[in-house]
């Protein structure tokens, strides 16, 4: 796909062709091309929210699916996410000013004692790509760090990541503390990391274990949709 890139003048493409081209450019991690295309669509009068959902999120969905299916790997996904962030950076202030609806909000961090952050960063980027607002607490988070953040940010979702068998039990410490404080059911708790599995997620009282970033996005959408439906039903 990248070979043909030199011949294409983005501004000459129709809207439909340009969006298709953006899917390809996201897939190939071409940040400058994505930024140019976003600006072209804005100049043509597209709403920021439509550019986000139809072009950027649409393109990242293809990337996420191929990542889940083992067709794309971490370096390519990081490049795609970086290109996506380039487009998001242009749209972010416009989206805030036009009051476009967000899909939901997540606070996420790697647990205490653990400094692995590549997977967490990928999850954050894919969640942002899917329209979620993400507050990233970084690595080595103790209970208080999570609790302070959820109190201050009031997210829909608390996400925790652990890559070590020695640090994954700390997720239960966080969830148990939430139970003690009577706030466990106020949040959707999603957990992930290579040594975890579904049984572990259930055993510690999380709402779901997410195998990878694409599953995290799908799971988050499902749970947030369910929560909003429950609220609407009163
Ligand atoms: Co470390 N390390 N490491 N390491 N390291 C592992 C995890 C290990 C399996 C390697 C091995 O021995 N085979 C092993 C753990 C063994 C165990 O616990 N059973 C290990 C060890 C032992 C260690 C040290 C103890 C080594 C030492 O110092 N003796 C040390 C511990 C440091 C600490 O944390 N206290 C250590 C250090 C490091 C580095 C700093 C060198 C580096 C981390 C760099 C960084 O993250 N910035 C590192 C790395 C890179 C790895 C491996 C090689 C790769 C991890 C990774 O980034 N994978 C890893 C071996 C492996 O996993 N095969 C290993 C790519 C990433 C995209 O996948 O993180 O699984 P992953 O994330 C996925 C999913 O799991 C999921 O989505 C992501 C994207 O699809 N996911 C979530 C993750 N978090 C989620 C949260 C969610 C949802 C989904 O919330 C909603």
Looking at residue 107, what is its pLDDT? 98
- Quick one: which atom of ligand 1 is closest to the CA of 162? 84
- Quick one: which atom of ligand 1 is closest to the CA of 193? 75
Pocket probe for ligand 1: among 119, 132, 201, 213, the residue whose CB has the most ligand atoms within 8 Å is: 119
Q: 177 near 207, Cβ under 8 Å?
A: no
Per-residue pLDDT tens for 43-77? 999 998 789 889 998 898 899 899 889 999 989 98
Looking at residue 99, what is its pLDDT? 57
Beta bridge partners, 189, equal: 158
* Higher local confidence (pLDDT), 185 or 89: 185
Predicted confidence band of residue 101 (pLDDT cuts 50, 70, 90): low
Per-residue pLDDT tens for 114-143? 999 888 988 887 888 888 999 999 999 999
What are the structural domains of the chain? Answer: 2-98 (1.10.1240.10), 105-233 (3.40.50.280)
pLDDT at 175 over 60: yes
Query: What is the CB < 6 Å shell around ligand 1?
Result: 74, 108, 113-120, 122-123, 159, 161, 163-166, 190-195, 210, 212-213, 216
Q: How far is the CA of 120 from the centre of ligand 1 (A)?
A: 10
Which residue has the CA at smallest separation from atom 4 of ligand 1? Answer: 116
The pTM is what? Answer: 0.80
Residue 113's nearest CA partner among 42, 171, 198, 191 is: 171
Residues in the chain: 234
Per-residue pLDDT tens for 5-54? 567 899 999 999 999 999 999 999 999 999 999 999 999 999 987 898 89
Q: What are 232's two structure tokens?
A: 């609407």
Residue 15's nearest CA partner among 60, 43, 26, 94 is: 43
The H-or-E segment that residue 110 falls in is strand 104-110
């Amino acid at each position: 796909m990248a070979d043909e890139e030199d011949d294409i003048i983005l501004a000459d493409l129709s809207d439909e062709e340009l969006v298709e081209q953006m899917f390809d450019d996201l897939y190939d991690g071409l940040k400058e091309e994505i930024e140019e295309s976003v600006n072209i669509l804005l100049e043509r009068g597209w709403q920021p929210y439509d550019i986000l959902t139809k072009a950027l999120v649409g393109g990242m969905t293809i990337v996420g699916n191929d990542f889940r299916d083992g067709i794309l790997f971490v370096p390519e996904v990081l490049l795609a996410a970086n290109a996506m962030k380039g487009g998001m950076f242009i749209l972010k202030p416009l989206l805030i000013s036009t009051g476009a609806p967000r899909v939901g909000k997540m606070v996420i961090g790697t647990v205490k004692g653990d400094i692995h952050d590549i997977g967490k960063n990928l999850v954050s980027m894919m969640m942002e790509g899917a329209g979620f607002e993400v507050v990233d607490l970084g690595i080595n988070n103790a209970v208080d760090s999570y609790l302070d953040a959820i109190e201050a940010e009031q997210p829909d979702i608390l996400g925790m990541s652990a890559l070590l068998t020695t640090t994954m039990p700390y997720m239960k410490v966080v969830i148990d503390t939430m139970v003690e404080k009577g706030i466990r059911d106020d949040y959707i708790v999603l957990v992930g990391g290579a040594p975890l599995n579904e049984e572990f997620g259930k055993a510690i009282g999380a709402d779901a274990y997410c195998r990878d970033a694409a599953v995290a996005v799908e799971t988050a959408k499902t749970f947030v949709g369910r929560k909003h439906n429950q609220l609407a039903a009163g």
